[in-house]
A and B are shown apart, each in its own frame.
Chain A
């Protein structure tokens, strides 16, 4: 059975219909990129899969668990057990340093472990920035802290919404190389939303959204 399975997933807001019956299956360990014009429902799709948003109709099954209709708290538990998030904005807590920001995620998951947090930061190449505050880090470095934070609890699924949207080409490449390395080492599933054709070439599959539907679904060669 597929790791992620969406069945005629629809999301209707008062002002717009963001998803119009999306069917999607994603295999365990796959790196899937979502592209498409602005407003086509990419973020909505990602949020629905991540349990940050609920469907108006249809079904989402992740890792064998039906998440449609779960309570908010059950959703929170589900997220912290299986999913890591990276956003376009770093969303780091400004008064905590890099290690503490990573530890926060551990704290909500189970117990904070500073050594483990430091190790995670070293793996994203930030061993020399451990006690820096977000404001003292570059955009690329902040995004790497986010990746460390997202992966600290060894999730099966990494959801990334425009993770390189604010970065220049050089930093974008660093982030993608890093994701690729971690993906190959740990075999988690990645779903990544992007505008950038350069970014969408990294991975194994691209789906193109348009007007709340999947318009195109292609497998590509894993760079």
Chain B
């Protein structure tokens, strides 16, 4: 019986452990589906009318790592867009140029650590056959569609606006980039005279799912509310903080991604709690049946207690104290089991062990008591119905 309480407790406690960590773990995994925040230059005034190009400052990128939610910023990738006329094998073509970093170590202001920026951190599925162009060469990588259309191969030389470049790889992203020519952002800046400028920045941030409060209009919030909103990791508040550090910028959540994530996480934690409840109930049922079995072996005893003068309160007290003892024992065992189980599941599913949390002990004990005491309800009802006259009867 202690065993079945322990199993139930272990299930429940490890599920609760999982659900406490799973949101962050899963949203980490979900981040692989791309950036959820887009930083663009603010378009306003004359620039808007004349269609003049606006840029962000490359220097602002590192500042994304000094905002309140810096630890939630998992990836940052700047892009610089431009155009050129390409010549290859005598064929002239108008192409879009895209300046990127694939993986660039940026020094963090005031710290010895560096942080990795670039496409790899927001779109890890971008694939190159060959090498990504680096900053101190005149290498380019061309998109697969462009390559197959123009016949460009790895190692070929490509003329862009009259200058010579070498194709270091063929890029496959599944997006618009497949039609473009990619080069290092620094190379492109120099080539086009756009030093220190970027067109847009994609940010991948770990966020708290949007709840009702998150959708409130910030302009109508009280100071305290605003503070709370600002210090919660909603995609909108992180966007707001990014807007504050990027000069002349407009920062928007990429809603498809953010909203889907929120939904997935919500469903997931609902599922976890459901599972948790089911496992608790199942083991309570187990306790109940074992208890009733042992009760059947003890009807004599209970009948006798009643004959000797035990009233229902005493009978209930006897069973409940047994329940408490079983619950505590089961809780201990279940707690130990759940530590192992949570570790195991964490490693199997997410490749990292779950943090051990002290909270789990009271949780385990609580669920064990819940299991054993709720498992006692039926047996107690049975016990109270026992008729000593029938049980203790004469000879049989």
User: A178 CA to B44 CA in the complex, in Å?
Assistant: 111
Q: Specify the chain A residue showing the minimal Cβ separation from B304.
A: A91
Interface string of A50-66 (1 = CB under 8 A from B): 10110000000000000
Q: Which of B30-38, B240-248, B366-374, B384-392 lies at the interface? A: B384-392
- Which residue of A76, A88, A162 contacts B306 across the interface (Cβ within 8 Å)? A76
Which size bracket describes the interface of B in this complex?
20 to 34
Contact A91 B309, beta carbon cutoff 8 Å: no
- Which residue of B305, B312, B387 contacts A52 across the interface (Cβ within 8 Å)? B387
User: A76 CA to B312 CA in the complex, in Å?
Assistant: 9
Give the distance to chain A from B188, nearest Cβ to Cβ, in Å.
86
- Which residue of A76, A89, A93, A162 contacts B309 across the interface (Cβ within 8 Å)? A76
Contact A108 B304, beta carbon cutoff 8 Å: no
Contact B389 A109, beta carbon cutoff 8 Å: no
Contact B395 A165, beta carbon cutoff 8 Å: yes
We find that the number of chain A residues with CB closer than 8 angstroms to chain B is 26
Interface: B163 (CB within 8 A): no
Contact B389 A52, beta carbon cutoff 8 Å: yes
A52 and B308 in contact, given A91-B300, A91-B392 (Cβ under 8 angstroms): no
Chain A residues whose CB sits within 8 angstroms of the CB of B392 once the complex forms: 52, 85, 87, 89, 91, 161
Q: Specify the chain B residue showing the minimal Cβ separation from A90.
A: B304
Q: Specify the chain A residue showing the minimal Cβ separation from B385.
A: A72
Chain B residues whose CB sits within 8 angstroms of the CB of A171 once the complex forms: none
Give the distance to chain B from A81, nearest Cβ to Cβ, in Å.
8
Chain A residues whose CB sits within 8 angstroms of the CB of B301 once the complex forms: 91, 93
User: A194 CA to B311 CA in the complex, in Å?
Assistant: 29
Contact A108 B305, beta carbon cutoff 8 Å: yes
Chain B residues whose CB sits within 8 angstroms of the CB of A165 once the complex forms: 394-395
Contact B395 A88, beta carbon cutoff 8 Å: yes
User: A85 CA to B304 CA in the complex, in Å?
Assistant: 9
- Which residue of A77, A88, A93 contacts B394 across the interface (Cβ within 8 Å)? A88
Chain B residues whose CB sits within 8 angstroms of the CB of A53 once the complex forms: 387, 389
Subset of 15 A-B contacts with CB under 8 Å: A47-B389, A52-B388, A73-B312, A76-B311, A77-B311, A79-B309, A80-B309, A85-B307, A88-B395, A89-B392, A91-B301, A104-B305, A105-B308, A109-B308, A149-B308
Query: Nearest 4 A-B pairs (CB), nearest first?
Result: A80-B309, A52-B389, A76-B311, A53-B389
- Chain A residues proximal to chain B, CB less than 8 Å: 43, 47, 50, 52-53, 72-73, 76-77, 79-81, 85, 87-89, 91, 93, 104-105, 108-109, 149, 161-162, 165
